[in-house]
């Protein structure tokens, strides 16, 4: 691999660029809607230059670190400029609509599109928070156009090797979105809703690790997460409805002073945590 292109140099895109730059033999090109971010990334040494239309065909891999609609918009605008040997991968938090449309665009123009979701990040956003080790040891979820092409799956792992991911999971777009609604999106919904309690204004001096753990992701990017939630509304609504039903059981036990039922609910959750963590 000699050249990587990265579209959108925020937290994810900037971190990807910095990770690839750890390998001297890889040329990293980037683009961003904000010219000042592009200039800053070049001054910081995160990229070697701008990813122009003329440079697209020289890329072995192009990573689209934009919002879901931005992925589709970029592909529709640039598909005809891509080389048939280029692998294009998105880094968005949902996969179903993106993969359905992107696989069709890629097939029409003869290049390879792969759905991707790097499972790492922080509650902060923007290039200034990006870092070269963000993905070291972290999982990467891949949605390939086919599971029968072993050479493609191997090629994907090699292309992403310099980033430092700890493991790769290959799955379908539907399976990805169903699981991510629980493992990521619900955590942000619950955290964001929980911290709205008026009591939160008086928490200082009364809160410790549990408060910090639960509220960390309440500090989110509302533009990005609202798009992701709506992209995945069916799976996310199922998780929200299940959570509300579960919370109602706790509420009833507390309201009725039913200690045995409350203890059973708490023990059930404790045992489930042990089960899902494999302890």
pLDDT of 105-124, one tens digit each? 999 999 999 999 999 877 77
The whole-number pLDDT of residue 206 equals: 77
The whole-number pLDDT of residue 171 equals: 97
Q: Where are the alpha helices (DSSP H) in the chain?
A: 11-20, 35-43, 68-78, 96-109, 150-160, 173-180, 186-194, 209-215, 222-231, 233-255, 259-276
The whole-number pLDDT of residue 125 equals: 82
Q: pLDDT digit of tens for each residue in the chain (279 aa)?
A: 689 999 999 999 999 999 999 999 999 999 999 999 999 999 999 999 999 999 999 999 999 999 999 999 999 999 999 999 999 999 999 999 999 999 999 999 999 999 999 998 777 789 999 999 999 999 999 999 999 999 999 999 999 999 999 999 999 999 999 999 999 999 999 999 999 999 988 888 778 889 888 999 999 889 999 999 999 999 999 999 999 999 999 999 999 999 999 999 999 999 999 999 886
The whole-number pLDDT of residue 1 equals: 62
- How is the beta sheet containing 49-50 ordered, strand by strand? 49-50, 27-31, 3-7, 61-64, 87-90, 112-118, 139-143, 167-170
Name the β-bridge partners of 81. Answer: none
The whole-number pLDDT of residue 277 equals: 87
The widest CA-to-CA distance across the chain, in whole angstroms, is 70
Please tell me the pTM assigned to this model. 0.89
Distance, in Å, from the CA atom of 200 to the CA atom of 177, rounded to the nearest integer, reads 32
The whole-number pLDDT of residue 271 equals: 95
The whole-number pLDDT of residue 279 equals: 66
The whole-number pLDDT of residue 197 equals: 93
The whole-number pLDDT of residue 211 equals: 87
Distance, in Å, from the CA atom of 217 to the CA atom of 183, rounded to the nearest integer, reads 13
């Amino acid at each position: 691999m000699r050249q990587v292109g990265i579209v959108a140099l925020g937290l994810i895109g900037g971190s990807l660029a910095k990770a690839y730059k750890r390998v001297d033999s890889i040329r990293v090109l980037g683009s961003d809607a904000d010219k000042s971010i592009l200039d800053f990334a070049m001054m910081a040494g995160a990229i070697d230059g701008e990813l122009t239309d003329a440079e697209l065909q020289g890329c072995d891999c192009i990573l689209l670190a934009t919002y879901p609609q931005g992925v589709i918009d970029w592909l529709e605008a640039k598909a005809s400029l891509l080389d048939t040997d280029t692998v294009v991968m998105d880094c968005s938090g949902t996969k179903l609509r993106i993969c359905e449309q992107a696989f069709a665009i890629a097939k029409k123009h003869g290049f390879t599109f792969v759905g991707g979701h790097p499972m790492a990040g922080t509650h902060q956003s923007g290039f200034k928070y990006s870092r070269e080790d963000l993905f070291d040891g972290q999982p990467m979820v891949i949605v390939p156009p086919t599971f029968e092409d072993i050479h493609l799956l191997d090629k994907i792992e090699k292309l992403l090797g310099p980033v430092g991911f700890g493991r790769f999971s290959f799955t379908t777009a539907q399976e990805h979105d169903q699981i991510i609604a629980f493992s990521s999106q619900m955590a942000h919904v619950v955290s964001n809703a929980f911290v709205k309690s008026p009591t939160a204004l008086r928490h200082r001096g009364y809160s410790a690790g549990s408060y910090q753990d639960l509220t960390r992701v309440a500090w989110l990017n509302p533009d990005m997460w609202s798009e992701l939630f709506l992209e995945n509304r069916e799976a996310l609504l199922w998780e929200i409805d299940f959570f509300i039903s579960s919370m109602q059981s706790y509420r009833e036990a507390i309201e009725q002073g039913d200690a045995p039922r409350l203890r059973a609910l708490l023990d059930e959750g404790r045992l489930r945590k042990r089960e899902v963590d494999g302890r």
